[in-house]
Amino acid sequence: MEWGMKEQEKAGVTFLTFPLLEREGMVTHAFSTRKGGVSKGMFATMNFAGNRGDDPEHVRENYRRMGTALGVPPEQMVLSQQTHTTNLRIVTREDAGKGVVRERDYTDVDGLLTDEPGLMLVTSYADCVPLFFLDPVKRVIALSHSGWRGTVGRMGAVTVERMQEVFGCEPGQILACIGPSICQSCYEVSEDVAEEFRLVFPETDWPEILEEKPEKKYQLDLWNANRKILLSAGIREDHLASSGICTCCHSDLLFSHRATQGKRGNLGAFLMLNS
């Protein structure tokens, strides 16, 4: 497995990229950091959440700045509407700008897919797991949000299956990346959440996903859980990368819901097929 992401800075904006995706030369992609925006206070500075109390003008300017760094205007971006589901939306040219410069006409969408070049898919995070997908043969991309509920729902496998059904993708051709999110050491969960994972993962996987602590608490490994889901969906080991970057451990660089007790903005994952 190829691990790690590269830190880059363009037009004053700091973001992270996967070498696995960059080497194909087929997509423009990024995972944002807190650096390079105009938001203030707990949203400082590169916040992409428009529903947490930040100044809307600041949020719009942050999208504009990220767009300048990536060479994509906000009018070509399409934003999810995340509610911890495993619902996916096929994005077309008609969706350009939705959630960024236009109102969305959809709700409950935690994943986006497209084969349209020039459309930048955007999803939001502050500890949950970003999943990036590229089929370089069919020229199809997807971007999915997988928190603990999405992981229990096997969001990674649901995305791969949808890529197969709609675009004829072969899982063995798909590249998949697990983006910055909360690590096992930082993510304590209760017995009820642990039980949800026991219901959907084989018993042989439990020790690798759940570390039991006193008083029926557990340390949950979302990275390994999503890795297992992607491998079971047919993604090849050498086509799978993980950032290995914890949002909670690095809350100075990345927004973390848990590290700040919810006083935070949102990070953004960005993915576009180049023309």
- pLDDT at residue 127, as a whole number: 98
Confidence check: pLDDT of 3 > 70? no
**Sequence letter at residue 94:** E
pTM of the predicted protein model: 0.98
pLDDT of residue 51: 94
CATH class of 2-182+230-273: alpha beta
Q: What is the pLDDT of residue 4?
A: 87
pLDDT in tens, 226-255: 999 999 999 999 999 999 999 999 999 999
Cα separation, 113 vs 191, whole angstroms = 34
pLDDT tens-digit readout, 109-143:
999 999 999 999 999 999 999 999 999 999 999 99
**Above 60 in pLDDT, residue 45?**
yes
- What pLDDT does 173 receive? 98
Strands, DSSP E only, in the chain?
2-3, 6-10, 13-17, 27-32, 77-79, 88-90, 111-114, 120-125, 129-135, 140-146, 175-178, 188-190, 210-213, 217-220, 240-242, 267-273
Residue 23's pLDDT band, with cuts at 50, 70 and 90, is very high
State the Cα–Cα distance between residues 231 and 157, nearest whole angstrom: 9
Confidence of residue 2 (pLDDT cuts 50, 70, 90): very low
Residues 8-32: what's their mean pLDDT? 97
Query: Which of 3-7, 21-25, 69-73, 100-104 is predicted least confidently?
Result: 3-7
Half-sphere exposure of 256 (CA within 13 A, CB side): 19
Distance CA(34)–CA(36), nearest Å, equals: 7
Rounded Cα gap, residues 84 and 215, in angstroms: 27
